Structure 1
Amino acid sequence: MSVREPGDVVVDGGVGELVLMWAGFPLLGAGLGAGLTALSGWIAGLAWFPFQDVFALLDRWPDQRSYPLGAGAVALAGVALAVAGTRERLRVTVGRRSVELHRDGHGRDVARAEVTGVFADGKALVLLDAAGGELAREKSDLGVARLREAFTGQGWPWVDRDPHRDAYRRWVPGLPGLPTGADALLRARERALKDSRDAEVRELHGELARLGVVVRDEGKRQYWRLVHLDGEPR
């Protein structure tokens, strides 16, 4: 991991984002839990509503027991959301010679000399190499304007759209033209996308990249294109 240098520009959600997650989510959860507890008698009578036994129990208990339990349980769910949100935060540190992409306690560096293009693809920050492959694709809620300003201010080649966008094809199982093994990886990745297993989605993205396949997502749909590996077209 590179050492922070004077003049490096950091783009992240800031302290306000952390305050929102760690104070806002539990407080909203507590309020929602208290509201559900107040309606527990009515909810217990709705056959389609989940956790019927829990709401029936809350309705039978006195208020001094039911409200702290109901509010506390949903507040804990808010804490769990804050933990997940904190782990998924992306911090981008842009320098003249490299950029550090930091998430969930782990960071990776990409050297400026390897990068021929930087752009935002929806909510993803993408760095391209000379062959058209992706050196990085990181999802985040960071503003495009802030990212553009940080990269261009440090002399990086920011582009306003994916220069290879027209080369993508919609993936369907069994489609010809893919390298050996890529179809199986795309099938596995489709299942991971549907189940929102983000770590597995990223891992399979890297496996496909090693085969010369670049993948981008639109919702749960996968689109792919091929790149050159070792100077040979795939």
Structure 2
Amino acid sequence: MNHDKTIIGLKRMEKAIVIILPILSGAILGWYIPVLADWVLTLPIVPLEDFISLIASLNNFWVSIVSLILGIIAAIVFIIIVFNETLKVEVSDRMVELIIGEKQDKFEKQQISAIYVEGKQLVILGLSSEEKYREVVESKFDYVKEVFLAYGYPFRNEDPYINYYQRWELGNGDLPSDVNSILYARSRALREDQKKEAKRLREDLAQLGVVIRDEQNSQFIRMVQNK
């Protein structure tokens, strides 16, 4: 382990798989498009029958060449998206830097009270127990734990405030109306599987001092300790 800085993220072999597998799949699928078109035409019900018939009627060699190229292009686009949406964590003695695409977040070690992994999400808590960061990390739990402990960070095996959460229910009179409104909107987003909206609303709640644990479609909440 490099003690100046260690990176948590996709390893070389994993990166190679992410690059090679989609390109091979796209190329193979593209090359066999004419064969697939002929097979689809044998089915009792054929969607887009005229279009598929046109593909099947063309010169198979050139259709395969064009389809292969298009398959590789689609694979490259997929690879770029995967790398742009994969979290890279740089850990040093002084700070943690978290990078996704062009977005970067940095936290000094003294700003952090706890780090843990919930499901596949890396969570960083601040000094008032507030949630400063939450994002999916692709590395294995044991490796993430090893890296943070090696640099002296307060890594925990689970949320240190796990016993402080209470299940949120509509009309909770102990919470401000704006917090209840956001929690209600987020419960709808969870039911409708609107992940980006649920994430955005979680960030809005964090600004109000509310920390959330999701269990299936139920929200369990706690307030930060010294906000």
What is the deviation of 1:68?
2.2
For the 8 Å contact 1:12–1:92, the answer to whether it is kept is: yes
Q: 1:207 aligned to 193, 204, 208, which one? A: 204
Equivalents in 1 of 2:168, 2:28: separation in Å? 44
What is the deviation of 1:189?
7.3
Higher mean C-alpha displacement, 33-42 vs 54-63: 33-42
How has the CA–CA distance of structure 1 residues 100 and 53 changed in structure 2, closer, same or farther, with 3 Å as cutoff?
A: farther
Match in the other structure for 2:147: 150
What is the deviation of 1:102?
1.1
What is the deviation of 1:8?
1.9
For the 8 Å contact 1:37–1:71, the answer to whether it is kept is: no
What is the deviation of 1:169?
4.7
How has the CA–CA distance of structure 1 residues 178 and 70 changed in structure 2, closer, same or farther, with 3 Å as cutoff?
A: farther
1:193-232 superposed Cα distances (whole Å, 9 cap, x missing partner): 72453xx54433211101222233456x252312236x36
What is the deviation of 1:48?
5.9
Match in the other structure for 2:189: 191
Match in the other structure for 1:95: 92
Higher mean C-alpha displacement, 188-197 vs 135-144: 188-197
Equivalents in 2 of 1:52, 1:14: separation in Å? 44
1:101-126 superposed Cα distances (whole Å, 9 cap, x missing partner): 11112211112112121111111011
Query: Structure 2 regions of 5+ residues with no counterpart?
Result: none
Match in the other structure for 1:71: 68
Match in the other structure for 1:12: 9
What is the deviation of 1:168?
3.9
Percent pairwise identity: 23
2:141 equivalent to 1:112: no
Equivalents in 2 of 1:183, 1:41: separation in Å? 57
Equivalents in 2 of 1:16, 1:164: separation in Å? 36
For 2:222, the aligned partner's letter is L
How has the CA–CA distance of structure 1 residues 7 and 167 changed in structure 2, closer, same or farther, with 3 Å as cutoff?
A: same
Equivalents in 2 of 1:48, 1:211: separation in Å? 54
Query: Structure 1 regions of 5+ residues with no counterpart?
Result: none
Match in the other structure for 2:223: 227
What is the deviation of 1:149?
0.8
Match in the other structure for 2:28: 31
Equivalents in 2 of 1:179, 1:95: separation in Å? 39
For the 8 Å contact 1:37–1:70, the answer to whether it is kept is: no
For the 8 Å contact 2:9–2:137, the answer to whether it is kept is: no
For 1:99, the aligned partner's letter is V
For 1:21, the aligned partner's letter is V
How has the CA–CA distance of structure 1 residues 52 and 133 changed in structure 2, closer, same or farther, with 3 Å as cutoff?
A: farther
For the 8 Å contact 2:167–2:221, the answer to whether it is kept is: no
Provide the alpha-carbon RMSD of the alignment.
2.9
SS in 2 for 1:155: coil
Match in the other structure for 1:83: 80
For 2:189, the aligned partner's letter is R
Q: Normalising to structure 1: TM-score of the pair?
A: 0.80
